[in-house]
Amino acid sequence: METAAQQVPLEHFLVLSAILFSLGVYGVLTRRNAVLILMSVELMLNAASINMVAFAAYTAPQAFTGIIFAVFIITVAAAEVGLALAIILRIFRNRQTANVDELDQLKW
């Protein structure tokens, strides 16, 4: 009986993760709305998680390290979103905008 791993090779997961990551990068670079940038960052984080889980399943199925790593990424991402959204909310309250092009005060 063929296992799922043999039916779907590792490369598929890696390609999926690469596509997701690239989309995330594209989003971060092109979007102007801070919330959308944040969502793109989440995309990149999830791409990394997929990589972790895939490598864990294919190369070391007995060890849990990859999976635990993914769990950690999810946890950290949740915390980060909470923090970042709060910051964006405060900025929006203050300046009535979340457009990052207009938020350019942090310089000399």
Residue ranges that bind other proteins, judged by CB under 8 A: 25, 28-29, 32, 37, 100-101, 103-108
In whole angstroms, the minimum distance from the beta carbon of 100 to other proteins comes to: 4
Residue 60 CB neighbours (<10 A): 11
What backbone phi and psi angles, to 5 degrees, belong to 9?
-70, 160
In whole angstroms, the minimum distance from the beta carbon of 80 to other proteins comes to: 16
Angstrom CA distances, 98 to 1, 35, 59, 68, 72, stand at 54, 8, 43, 34, 29
In whole angstroms, the minimum distance from the beta carbon of 49 to other proteins comes to: 18
- Cβ nearer to other proteins, comparing 93 with 107: 107
